[in-house]
Amino acid sequence: MKAEVATVTTISSHIAGWVNRTSLSALPPEVVQGTKLRILDLTGVMLASSRLGIVQAARRAWAEIESGAGATQLGTTAATSPATAAFLNGIAASALEFDDTYLPTTIHATGLALSVCYPEAQRRPVSGAKLIESVLLASESMIRLSVVSTQDWFRFGIHPTGAFGVFGGVCALAKLRGLDDAAIIRGLGHAGSMSAALTAAFEDGTSTKNLHVGLAAANAFRAVALAQQDISGPTLVYEGKFGWYRAHVQSDGKRHYEAVTTDLTKGGLEQDWLSLEIATKLYPVAYPLMPHIEAAIELRNQYGIEPEEVDEIDAYLAERTFPMLCEPPELKMKPLTTWHGRISVQHTIAEALVRGEMTKNAYSEEAIRDPRINLLATKVRHLPDLEAPKNPLRSRAKIVVRMKDGRELSHEILDFRGTRRNPMTTDDYIAKFRANTGDLLPAGLIDETIDSFLKIEGIDDIVPLLQRLTIAA
């Protein structure tokens, strides 16, 4: 079953060697600190989402076909298999659209990584240092694989986080289990046949997209399990004649493999860490709409805008996002589901102007049926921001609100708060964690948890920390 590892250097072999070379002691301090803060952030997001209907429904569905023991979903005590725990964690990490994002390719990396790492930590001791390494490796590998092509993955019907997530999950598990290069190559080879995630749900707001991170996380466990039984996987799974990129990028000349192969040979302090460009969200929404919420709330606070006094609203955003976030307008103005609202520029601006805040409780069933919000959403029209395509590392927004009294009010955001150019502070991360967990955990436990995560590199075994985060039924 086990084939000889090819002597030629492949993308998989570059990744495998890099996974085994990377250690916390060789990482730049800003990379370590950023990873720690994102771990704290996404842990809070996963806890905030753990009671959502889709998470509970997925648990019931999986219990019928894949019961087991050995792990639990974060925040719960019900035993299940590690793969199922990863599946449920992944849904919780992404269902609120509160997860961090690498802007150029919209990769949501940290949630996938933690979805895999937390169940694995219940099977073998995992230190805080090893958690940081594994989350970073998963994140960086997903990002680098996504930038091999310059195409807009969404335009071709591919959800990049769902498609590349399984590869990141394999890297995380490989680091936690101390797999050798050959096993990692086999695992990545298997993962190539488990990599699939369509953007079809963006058209009608249905729930399949919310499952993508969970499916990728569960498949990472399967791919690694097969690899550890010496079942061979293709060594040229990425760049081969029948590899992943030729299957998904049909045109020649659009594959930049050096994004993976060149920089990873450096590693440590010399490497250009793309994960430094990951943006954290202050609002539970598709990332291109983050600055529109900021702009809308700023206008509301500055001018005391009342919805009934608004004549029309112009929202400027990158034209490539129109199919996902703006069209068809008649559906986006009155979303079919709460998640549909999170990918609607019309509803998002309207809810922000009416409510004045967008917390984890935004986009509720009540909000997407609110007559005032629905009516205001019909006044929002989307227009192309001609500056947006010039720099994919930036996230711009401009809103112009025309009032019935003739006033024209506008606000522009060049970089939303949470990006590298406009970063969140440690206090911002702590405030978000408190907001997401304040109604779920005792105040004293929240304080202890924050302190532990900020010093997590000194923890020998993270399981006691995770076990304390059980949410009362």
Contact 403, 311 (CB under 8 A): yes
Contact 353, 376 (CB under 8 A): yes
The pLDDT value recorded for residue 274 is 93
Which is nearest to 343 in space by CA: 284, 385, 384?
Answer: 284
**Residue labelled with tokens 């590998």:** 141
The pLDDT value recorded for residue 248 is 87
* Cβ count near 457 (within 10 Å): 16
Which is nearest to 114 in space by CA: 86, 142, 78, 79?
Answer: 86
Q: 133-156: per-residue pLDDT in tens?
A: 999 999 999 999 999 886 788 888
Contact 93, 42 (CB under 8 A): yes
Contact 114, 39 (CB under 8 A): yes
Angle in degrees, CA 54, 176, 234, rounded to 5: 85
- CA atoms lying within 13 Å on the CB side of residue 195: 29
**Start-to-end Cα distance in the chain:** 46
CATH class label, 11-279: mainly alpha
Going by DSSP bridges, is the β-strand pair 71-72/278-279 parallel, antiparallel, or unpaired?
unpaired
The residues, ordered by sequence, that sit 6+ positions from 330 with a Cβ below 8 Å of its Cβ are none
Which is nearest to 153 in space by CA: 164, 137, 169?
Answer: 164
Question: For the chain, what's the residue count?
Answer: 473
**Cα gap 115→74, rounded to integer Å:** 9
The pLDDT value recorded for residue 407 is 97
ω before 389 within 30° of 0 (cis)?
no
* Cβ count near 277 (within 10 Å): 17
Type and span of the H or E element at 181? helix 181-192
**Cα gap 400→407, rounded to integer Å:** 10
Q: Could you give the residue range(s) of every CATH 3.30.1330.120 domain in the chain?
A: 287-413
DSSP helix/strand/coil, 468 = coil
Q: 388-421: per-residue pLDDT in tens?
A: 888 877 889 999 999 999 999 999 999 999 999 9
**Cα gap 72→464, rounded to integer Å:** 13
Type and span of the H or E element at 409? strand 408-413
The pLDDT value recorded for residue 266 is 62
Sheet holding 408-413, edge to edge: 380-384, 310-317, 397-403, 408-413
The pLDDT value recorded for residue 5 is 47
For the segment(s) 287-413, the CATH number from 3.30.360.10, 3.30.470.30, 3.30.1330.120, 3.50.50.60 is 3.30.1330.120
The pLDDT value recorded for residue 258 is 78
The pLDDT value recorded for residue 212 is 98
The pLDDT value recorded for residue 268 is 58
* Distance, CA of 456 to chain centre: 21
Q: Could you give the residue range(s) of every CATH 1.10.4100.10 domain in the chain?
A: 11-279
Contact 79, 70 (CB under 8 A): yes
| Alpha helices, DSSP H, located in 229-312 | 244-248, 258-261, 290-303
Which neighbouring-strand residues pair with 312?
Answer: 402
Contact 168, 112 (CB under 8 A): yes
Which is nearest to 46 in space by CA: 124, 109, 148, 115?
Answer: 115
The pLDDT value recorded for residue 395 is 87
* Distance, CA of 439 to chain centre: 23
Tokens representing 261? Answer: 């192969």
**Residue labelled with tokens 């302090």:** 269
- Divide the 473 residues of the chain into consecutive groups of 10 and give the mean pLDDT of each group: 61 95 94 98 97 95 89 95 97 98 94 98 97 98 90 87 98 98 98 96 92 98 98 96 88 71 64 92 96 98 97 96 93 94 98 98 97 98 92 89 98 95 97 98 97 98 97 75
Q: Which amino acid is at 412?
A: E
Q: What is the pTM of this model?
A: 0.95
**Cα gap 27→267, rounded to integer Å:** 8
